[in-house]
Each structure stands twice: as structure tokens, then as C-alpha cells.
Chains A and B, each alone.
Chain A
Amino acid sequence: MPSPARTATLRDAVGLGMAVGLYGVAFGAAAVGAGLDPWQALVMSALMFTGASQFALVGVLGAGGGALAAVGSALLLGTRNTVYGVRLAPMLAPRGWWRRAGAAHWVIDETTAMAVAAPDRELGRLAFWVTGATIYLGWNATTLVGALGAGSLGETAQAALDSVVPAAFLALLWPRLRRGATEAAVQRRVALGGAVLALVLTPFVPAGVQVVLAVVAVALAGRPRARAVSA
């Protein structure tokens, strides 16, 4: 039953999926630059499937970090998907264990944003599944392109890639700091605190650990506001 709202939802979901898929090239290249092989990069996109955590894991490994710091930073960034899941559960209402297990794999920033923004529950579910499918296919395909492409880079191209990785993290961070974002000023304070803490700790802790310890900067956000209690 095609309707204008349904068509608009499908168009937005596919459009967002294709745009996000481009990040996969950067991830695949960053993973190989950090010392993973293309299969490891692809398995991460297929099984982990949450961009910021994937970038963090390869970022920590690339900086010479250990297993615990790499997994720890990925998990810390993965916690927000738990909150997304709680918000999506009433809408998706996955019946049965298998459906819930399948839906869970696609609970990420973009599918949540699209589902929550949809005008009603049915379109929300449609947006979730279509956005999830488009991003999943695009993200995995472009990861492979980036990973295979990065393997053939010369020295100057490697220097270019070294500059692409911090820029990719900045691009992931930027929307949270932009004017108009929720509590943008507090987000900026926390971000600055995290960056300073990581740099100060760098000479004193094993590689990668400073990234996990930077989570302490969240304390700069202060107490929950009273309004949040009733929300």
C-alpha cells in the first residue's frame, strides 16, 4: 500500500543508508592502517556493526594499545546502543527470541534516529528495518573496498591515511558539539576534558589506556537536571 508518507520514509531511509555507507571506506582503510587484515576489518563490520566502537577499537590497536583497552573503548562507546534499544523496544516489539536477536544487531545511531522520527509506529518499524538493511549492506561493502584499497598504499598515501583517521573521529564527534545539539555547551566541556586528559595521561599509561580513562571526563557533565527525572 504505497502512500506519500511510506514513500518518503523509504526514500529517507535508503538515502541515509547510502550516505553512511561511505564511512565504511574510511573504516576499512583505518583498520588496515592499524594492522588488521581485510578479513578482520570485514568481520568487524559484519559482527560488531556500530561505527564509533569499530573506529575506537582499531584506533587503540593502531596506537599500540593492548586488548583490554581496545575492547574497553569499544564497549564504552557501545553503551549508548543499550539506551537506544530501550527506546526502540516498545515500537519494534520483537516477538520471540530470534526476532529480538535479529533486531538487536541493527540497533545503532542511524536506525534509532530514523525510527523515532517516523510519524507513526508502523512507519517507524519500516524505517528501522529499511535503514538497517541499507546501512548493513553498504557498510560491509565499503569496508571491504577501503580495506583492500589501503593495502596497496605507498608511503605518502600512508601519511594521508594517518591524517584521515583523527579527522574521521572529529567528524563523528562534531554533530554532538554543534550549536543546536542537546546541551552542546556541556558536550564541548566534556569533549575538551576528554582530549586534555588523554594527552596528559599519554606519557604515563600503556598505549590506549588513556582513551578508556578519558571517560572520567564525563563527570564534567554534572548532575542530571531535575527535568530529566520526569522524562
Chain B
Amino acid sequence: MSTGAVWAVVLAGSLGCYLLKLAGLSVPAAWVERPWVTRVVDFVPAALLAALVAVQAATSGDALVLDGRLAGLAVAAVALALRAPFIVVLVLAGATGAVVHVLAG
């Protein structure tokens, strides 16, 4: 993707996300506070974030790939389960990925 196209994505995404925020403060509450709407909105992050975890950890292009990223993810999950701080989770995942890269490389 060209630099210009990336800028277009960045600006379009930013504008859209801002308008979603502004809409919340501007539209009548009854438009948004419907059971179906709030239910879908409550669960969208779980579906999308989990999809991003899977895609970032186990795919490359259109192929499924097993490499150090999955090992890093497993370590991150254990760290999160032990309630480690965010920064510790990331450092452990990164270190695991680097070690697997060196051993496999």
C-alpha cells in the first residue's frame, strides 16, 4: 500500500471513529439504548479482538503458520492468568518470540 493510501486509511478511520463518539453525545439515548443494539455492541470487541489475536499469531498472508508468535502468545496467556502487568506480558511474549526465532533460525 502506498504512503498516500495509508494516509487515507489513517484519516478516514480517524474521522469515522470520531463521528461514532460524537454520535453518542448527540443522538437521543433511545436510538442507541435498545436491547439488541447494546447487546451486539457489548460483544463486538470479543469477536474482533479474538479474531485479531488468531490472525496475528497464527497466519501469514492466506496461510496458517506455526512459529514463535504462537509460543509468545501462550506465554502471554499464562502471564495474564497470573495477573502480570501489561508491560510484563508484552516483554515476556516478545522475549519468547525472539528466542524461538534464534533457535529456529
With a CB–CB cut-off of 8 A, which chain B residues contact A40? 6-7, 10
Decide if the interface of chain B is mainly helix, strand, loop or mixed: helix
With a CB–CB cut-off of 8 A, which chain A residues contact B75? 167
A97 to B50, CA, bound (A): 37
A9 to B100, CA, bound (A): 44
With a CB–CB cut-off of 8 A, which chain B residues contact A66? 1
CB distance from B91 to the nearest CB of A (A): 8
Question: With A44-B14, A160-B95, A229-B35 as given contacts, are A173 and B86 in contact (CB-CB < 8 Å)?
Answer: no
A55 to B16, CA, bound (A): 15
Contact B49 A82 (CB under 8 A): no
Contact B21 A104 (CB under 8 A): yes
Contact B97 A164 (CB under 8 A): yes
Complex interface residues of chain A between 22 and 66 (CB less than 8 A to chain B): 22-23, 26, 35-37, 40, 43-44, 47-50, 52-53, 55-57, 59-64, 66
Checking B43, B54, B77 against A195 with a beta-carbon cut-off of 8 angstroms, the contacting residue is B54
Contact A74 B90 (CB under 8 A): no
Q: Bits for B65-102, please: 1 = Cβ < 8 Å to A, else 0.
A: 00011011101110010000011011011111110111
Contact A107 B38 (CB under 8 A): no
Tell whether A1 is near chain B: CB-to-CB under 8 Å.
no
Contact B50 A61 (CB under 8 A): no
Checking A77, A170, A182, A196 against B44 with a beta-carbon cut-off of 8 angstroms, the contacting residue is A77
Q: Bits for B30-49, please: 1 = Cβ < 8 Å to A, else 0.
A: 00110111111111111111
CB distance from A44 to the nearest CB of B (A): 5
Checking A19, A67, A107, A192 against B24 with a beta-carbon cut-off of 8 angstroms, the contacting residue is A107
Checking B38, B69, B92 against A83 with a beta-carbon cut-off of 8 angstroms, the contacting residue is B38
Complex interface residues of chain A between 200 and 214 (CB less than 8 A to chain B): 202-204, 207, 210-211, 214
Q: Bits for A72-101, please: 1 = Cβ < 8 Å to B, else 0.
A: 011111111111111111001010000011
With a CB–CB cut-off of 8 A, which chain B residues contact A14? none
With a CB–CB cut-off of 8 A, which chain A residues contact B23? 82, 85
Complex interface residues of chain A between 118 and 144 (CB less than 8 A to chain B): none
CB distance from A214 to the nearest CB of B (A): 3
CB distance from A223 to the nearest CB of B (A): 8
5 contacts between A and B (CB under 8 A): A47-B18, A159-B100, A187-B46, A194-B54, A202-B64
Please give the residue numbers on chain A whose beta carbons come within 8 Å of chain B beta carbons, in ascending order.
19, 22-23, 26, 35-37, 40, 43-44, 47-50, 52-53, 55-57, 59-64, 66-67, 70-71, 73-89, 92, 94, 100-101, 103-105, 107-108, 155-157, 159-174, 176-177, 182-183, 186-188, 190-199, 202-204, 207, 210-211, 214-218, 221, 223-224, 228-229
Q: A49-B17, A55-B52 are in contact. List 14 more A-B contacts (CB 8 A).
A: A36-B6, A67-B8, A77-B45, A78-B20, A85-B25, A86-B32, A94-B25, A101-B22, A107-B21, A155-B101, A169-B53, A170-B77, A191-B46, A224-B35
